[in-house]
A = this chain, B = another copy of it.
Amino acid sequence: MIWRNLLNSFNSVKCSIHNPANVLLANNARYLSSAFVAGEPAGPEVKTAIPGPRSLAMLAEMKTIQISDAVQLFADYSKSIGNYLYDVDGNILLDVYTQISSVPLGYNHPELLDVLQDKENIRTFINRPALGVFPGENYPQRVYNSLLRVAPKGHTEVTTMACGSCSNENAYKAIFVWFRRKQRGDAPYTPEEETSCVMNQTPGVSDLTLLSFKGAFHGRTFGTLITTHTKPVHKLDIPTMDWPIGTFPRYKYPLEDFVRENEEEDRRCLAEVEELFERYNKRGKNVAGVVIEPIQSEGGDHHASPAFFQQLQRIAKKNGAALLIDEVQTGGGTTGEFWCHDHFNLEHPVDIVTYSKKMLVGGYFSLPEFRPREGYRIFNTWMGEPSKVVLLEKVIDVIKRDKLIENVKVTGDILLNGLKGFGKRYPNLVKNVRGRGTFCAFDCDSMAKRDQLVEQLKVEGVQTGGAGPVAVRLRPSLVFQPHHAAIFLDRLEKALHKMDNKV
């Protein structure tokens, strides 16, 4: 296996592999010859249980302040470097989860530290403006150099927000405003619309809906929560609305063995979408848009084919509805393209693409027809944050300079092939191996085993995370290189071996 040869080379020369063992590695020597982030340790190191005693002491303090049941450990962000997360007990974990997929260049990247050495930049960090009213000098140029430099195909406009949920919330609003404008034509708002909306009444407010999918995750605020359908913990007790919910395909793996079945699954799901459009439109709850993840992440890393997305776009267009692709988790290069939907070869640009996490700031790209006509229609006090845009500018520079998306492709191949190999040897623990770039996942045959494996991986020095009921998801940063993949696969094999022997 490639990764084993790679690991052997890595172990014999540390961080400097001059003798790649096969063609793939030889062709991609630049990703192997040195680390993108200097100063990383040779590998993970686990000294205590995790959480260790110092983490536990801080956790006890934290529990007096707020619910802390999701806390896994307290990290030492001064020492953490590149792909390695250091905790306060001296443990060093190879981080393939990266703060729920939100760290683009690993920890303490020297170029980002440099951004804060610049005196002018520092002022950006302490003078946060109301960006929609008083933007700072040359702010448009900053946006060109960062967000618009990586705009999805066909996009020239971008709006910034503070986080993923707000990005989707505001993108939903932009869709409703666009849809009602199409209905209203050039007519101004009627006095009745203006007075009724303020009191939550039609005709000022609308009965429009958005179509989302079972297993979808778009956020936990009220609007996004209407379209989130993963776990009860997010939804219980919260009032919501009756909006159409389609079925996202569930494929059989390996894909090459189930071509016919998976095509049939696409057809079934798309027919349901058509039926939902018809049903809700007929009931006067017009479907203004479709919101979908290119890969359902929190729901369990479910993929759908390019053909599914192409056809979905056609159905939306036929119904005069917008297509919103939520790239909050998939965007930023982690799938081997800057935007995951670049893999889908779509006929038309996507109407709206939302982003956050690895982009450091949230927001959305939208086609010009989605621009509202009035100021303050899409608005809040901060509208994102210029200091994040300053950091993102540097992140994009480094991605381009170090060809990190190429790195993701090469490393992703190693990762996926390694996982497929384990799939054969540990069929109950590694099932349905799937991924694009390093955005990889596999299923265990139960939630209990999945949770156990994530715990065992921590013992082996690897921080990863679950997704949906049975999946383990890998979300490394963009500086996760072949040698890191080799170390990860080696530790995963140890974990699998131990669990297999126990069972």
A binding-site residues for B, Cβ under 8 Å = 58, 61-62, 64-78, 80, 85, 88, 99-100, 102-103, 107-109, 112-113, 115-116, 120, 122-130, 132-141, 143-144, 148, 156-159, 162-166, 169-170, 172-173, 176-177, 179-181, 189, 193-195, 197-200, 204-209, 214, 219-224, 226, 229-243, 245, 356-357, 360, 371-372, 374-382, 387, 391
Contacts and interface: CB of A to CB of B under 8 A. Distances in A.
A354 B407 CA distance: 44
Nearest to A356: B381
A74 B347 CA distance: 39
B163 A382 contact: yes
A356 B163 CA distance: 15
A76 to B, nearest CB: 5
Given A206-B239, A356-B381, 10 more contacts: A58-B139, A61-B140, A71-B135, A74-B136, A100-B133, A125-B125, A163-B382, A166-B221, A220-B379, A221-B223
22 contacts: A62-B139, A65-B158, A68-B132, A74-B134, A75-B134, A77-B123, A78-B120, A99-B130, A102-B128, A108-B126, A109-B126, A164-B380, A165-B169, A173-B220, A177-B236, A179-B237, A198-B214, A200-B235, A206-B237, A219-B380, A221-B223, A222-B223
Nearest to A160: B66
Nearest to A394: B126
A259 to B, nearest CB: 30
A138 B206 contact: no
How many monomers of this chain does the complex have?
2
The 8 closest A-B pairs by CB, nearest first: A69-B375, A222-B223, A70-B375, A61-B140, A197-B235, A180-B237, A77-B127, A99-B130
Task: Select the residue from A58, A208, A209, A231 with max chain B CB neighbours within 10 A.
Answer: A58
A61 B157 CA distance: 12
A23 B148 CA distance: 59
Given A157-B66, A163-B380, A209 B239 contact: yes
Contacts of A230: 198
A134 to B, nearest CB: 5
Contacts of A208: 237, 239
